[in-house]
Amino acid sequence: MIEVTPHLTIRSEDYSERMVKASGPGGQHVNKTSNAVELRYDVRGSALAEDVKERLERLAGSRMTQDGVLILFSQGSRSLEMNRQEVRERLADLVRKALHRPKARRPTKPTFSSRLKRLESKTKRSGVKELRGRVRGDD
């Protein structure tokens, strides 16, 4: 089980892990062992709330398949157990971020004084620019 929050856990039946051969360093032993981990989590088939699923799909981006399966891959360590822990923690972090409901933005209007300040600065700036470029001669 993966503990996301004290109230939410992901059961081991809800995700699958596959061990594959990792690329990179490892010496003679690297070709004999599978120490990279690929984790697959079916987001659409999970017990998460619909709004959380939508946010999770947006957060996952290209790691999400068209079938709604989230694929995470870890090969950073030579240790299978460390890669397994890392990929599980990344899944928990993504779900934690998806649980956070963003605050709705309320549109506001600029204050009267801020509008006045803006117009005054525009007038001042246009006055500065008006003095440039044109040479005043005897016309």
Helix 50-60 vs helix 80-99: crossing angle, to nearest 10: 120
Residues 112, 99: contact at Cβ < 8 Å? no
Mean pLDDT by 10 residues, the chain (139 residues): 83 84 66 80 88 90 90 85 91 91 91 96 93 71
Q: In the structure encoding, which two tokens stand for residue 93, read together?
A: 């972090």
User: Which helix (DSSP H) or strand (DSSP E) does residue 15 occupy?
Assistant: strand 15-20
Architecture of domain 2-99: 2-Layer Sandwich (3.30)
Say what the pTM is. Answer: 0.68
Question: How is residue 64 annotated by DSSP?
Answer: B
| For the chain, domain boundaries | 2-99
